[in-house]
Structure 1
Amino acid sequence: MFQYIKIKNVAIISAFIVFIISSSISFGLNNKVFAAPIDLPKVSFNHNGGISDLSPTLTVKDKIMTKVGQPEDENKMEYKSLIYAINRGDTISLNFEEEPSQVDAFLIDYETDYSTLWALEKTPTGEYIANTPSPGLYNLDVHAIYPDGEYVSYSKLLNVVDNDLNLLSLTPQNNQCGNEITLDKLTASGNPATSILNQVINQPLIKELSFGIIDELNVQLNDVKNVCGIQLGLKNSQNDINFFAVQSSTDGSQYSDPIVFANTGFSGELPEMYIYPNSVEAKFLKLVPLGGTLEKGLGITDFKLFGP
């Protein structure tokens, strides 16, 4: 299914653990909203010697998805000085009460029309680089899978600041991942259950259609482009956590190591934006479902590709 030169252990663990979850949780998933958490492992982050706890927002265990809280959405700029501040490009480390099997970390802007997730780059020492295109309020979201199969997401509102402010670097045309890239071909391979998308289609036909059970989604551009993000609408995204990996290639033969993403569970039916830690050069991309907590495969209702 994957094609790449060398695969990271984290990707193997991610796929393995997620498929265990996917196979052990039935399709009749119950959804409890904002119930009290029970014995959830605690998580904190360390930044320049300071330690701050993250709040659990969502958990999936024993066939039940429970929203135990919601990401902070304080749109109160007068309180920015009271929110934990970090500099763009700073490194943070995560402290777990119970060691997870898989961890992914994001900085998320929930205040935009489409929730935007910036994947945090992990350093060789296990820290994460907090980088966003511009200063502002972001939720630090940590998605953890524990050895017993429980999935928990945690959140903490951060004020990302820039001590070396360069106004020119903050202009949207230089800094945002917002230029939509035209797709040449889009192919869904596998066994779509309710879809005609098992053949090459044109980009406009993707809208309002859903995939059934697929092995992978293959994207081809008309030339090598700089790719920095994906907009992906997922069916039943408010009741289901989906994991997927994205790989890129310039020649369609040798693919990069996969970058693993997961949706937030708080976006409703709107598409979410998934931003790479760094833009990549690609003519071909491969999106591989790693499993979900409710449905097998990805129910995709919207797909767009973006460059810087």
Structure 2
Amino acid sequence: MAKLSRQQLRDVSLVRGVSMDDLVARTGVPMASLMAMMAGDSDKDARLLLSQETYGRILHLLGVSADGSGLAAKQVRLWTCAEKNFGAWQTAFTNIKKSLLADNATVVLAEIVAGGSLFARKRRIVLLHDEQSQASIVVAGVSDKFSAELQKIFGTPYAHSTKMSTSDYSRFLKLVDNNACSHAQFIGMLGGGTLRYSWADVKAAAQQFNLQPDDLIVMISDRVHAAAPASASTAAPAAAPAAPMMYQEPKLSLVIDGAPQASAVTPVPTHAEEPVPMVGHQLLFGGQRVAAM
């Protein structure tokens, strides 16, 4: 499978809002190595300047698959519309749409809006999900004009339009920007069904019904474990318990003229019995000679 070209990597970096200086600061990669990997006029072989581990770190930060062939599947990444030089940003976005996203039939869009009142300016993010490649993108800083244009570009209206408090909006953006938003969370928000209550509502309900943080943690843990597939069916069968060690008491055996007598076991006389004289015989105990008669 072909890897992304240097131009495509620069386009992804641009829409991500991650400059070359940002990549140096966040990955510790020398600028010379980044230039070999992403500069358009570089004739250097990046494989000679970057280890496989370092190359992978850069791709992960950009939101590119580990093999470098496309956008990473099921990894939620933040793309931020550039306030300055928006034309270049939009060109990079259009290039990615044409080369790295599937056709319009598999793309789902949804918007989340915060603010918009007299005291808080309107802020919008657009959730973009490609059902074919499983690319999951959060586009922040979307203006009213670009919002309408996005729907034209992909030929589909928003599946959902949800309002969010300014604090929850900022918290969600920070979660995505830190690459900490799970794919399951993203899909839930894409459906528009997980934003009815805020964390403040959860706290209020817990206090109202006298639930402590420990109670909520246990409830969450129980639900997660109940939803997880049972591991008992896949676990290796338990080893059978070891058989108890049996102590075998040595037996007395009679040997006559050097020949063991299999059926003859001489009983040990009790104090009430007279010993039986055995001349020319040997008495063995546990295979050891103990007496000669």
Q: TM-score, normalised by structure 1?
A: 0.22
Structure with the bigger percentage of strand: 1
The structure whose RCO (Cα within 8 Å, separation 6+) is larger is 1
Structure whose CA Rg is larger: 2
